[in-house]
Chain A
Amino acid sequence: EVQLVQSGAEVKKPGATVKLSCKVSGYTFTDYFMHWVQQAPGKGLEWMGLVDPEDGETKYAEKFQGRLTITADTSTDTAYMELSSLRSEDTAVYYCATDVIFGVVTKAGYWGQGTLVTVSS
């Protein structure tokens, strides 16, 4: 069974840095990109960036360039999302997500349960 398990909620002060994790199981971590998505309270989904765990290559949305770092640790099958210079507008739920994973029988996309980050002084 494919699972993406994210780390717990965080409370940070403005200007701080947050690092979230997403541990995967049930598939070969290096075979599929890992995306990170932001959802502010009551708002829509915003694509932040992705990492190719195979070689560590990343792509970031222009909005987050310079503040966002996404990495992948193949020794623990865990992806990380680090966002710096936090401001109140970064208060949101952050999701990790895969594209379609083609299993022996099934094909599906998978999302983590989400991690709430609250930025407040």
Chain B
Amino acid sequence: QSALTQPPSVSGSPGQSVTISCTGTSSDIGTYYRVSWYQQPPGTAPKLMIYEVSNRPSGVPDRFSGSKSGNTASLTISGLQAEDEADYYCRSYTTRSTYVFGTGTKVTVL
């Protein structure tokens, strides 16, 4: 199972919006709504930001939103803040009853 494809980096100024794409196949994202997104600041454990494509866990700001179209999922951060600077990973369930992570995207706040 190959990793899902994410852009290596995205950047934006404070207050702007950025969108991270996560491209898979019909064997994962294209079939299931079990897509999650994780935020990982340097030197820390990942944190769940979005589950089941578009649902936010408690305490996650509504600036974070998720969506899916076909084989591609997306995470949008609106009103970018300095504290959002981190690595972000998507994860999907697969037709083999396993999971696969994306390649990861570094978000830089200019």
Residues of A whose CB lies within 8 Å of any CB of B are: 35, 37, 44-47, 49-50, 59-62, 95, 97, 99-100, 105-109, 111-114
Chain B residues with CB under 8 A of A35: 99
A-B contact pairs, 26 of them (CB 8 A): A37-B101, A44-B103, A45-B89, A45-B91, A45-B101, A46-B3, A46-B101, A49-B98, A62-B98, A95-B45, A95-B46, A97-B46, A99-B36, A100-B55, A100-B57, A105-B58, A106-B58, A107-B57, A107-B58, A108-B57, A108-B58, A109-B36, A109-B48, A111-B46, A113-B45, A114-B45
Q: Are A108 and B59 in touch, CB under 8 angstroms?
A: yes
User: Is B97 in the interface zone, CB < 8 Å from A?
Assistant: yes
Binary interface encoding of chain B residues 94-110 relative to chain A, with 1 for a CB under 8 A from any of its CBs, else 0: 00111111111000000
Least CB separation from A110: chain B residue: B48
Q: How many residues of B contact A (CB 8 A)?
A: 26
Binary interface encoding of chain B residues 44-86 relative to chain A, with 1 for a CB under 8 A from any of its CBs, else 0: 0111100100010111000000000000000000000000000
CA distance A61 to B28 in the complex (A): 14
Apart from A44-B87, A61-B1, 5 more pairs, CB < 8 Å: A44-B101, A44-B104, A62-B1, A95-B45, A109-B48
Q: Are B45 and A47 in touch, CB under 8 angstroms?
A: no
Chain A residues with CB under 8 A of B40: 45
CA distance A37 to B45 in the complex (A): 11
Binary interface encoding of chain B residues 1-29 relative to chain A, with 1 for a CB under 8 A from any of its CBs, else 0: 10100000000000000000000000000
CA distance A110 to B87 in the complex (A): 17
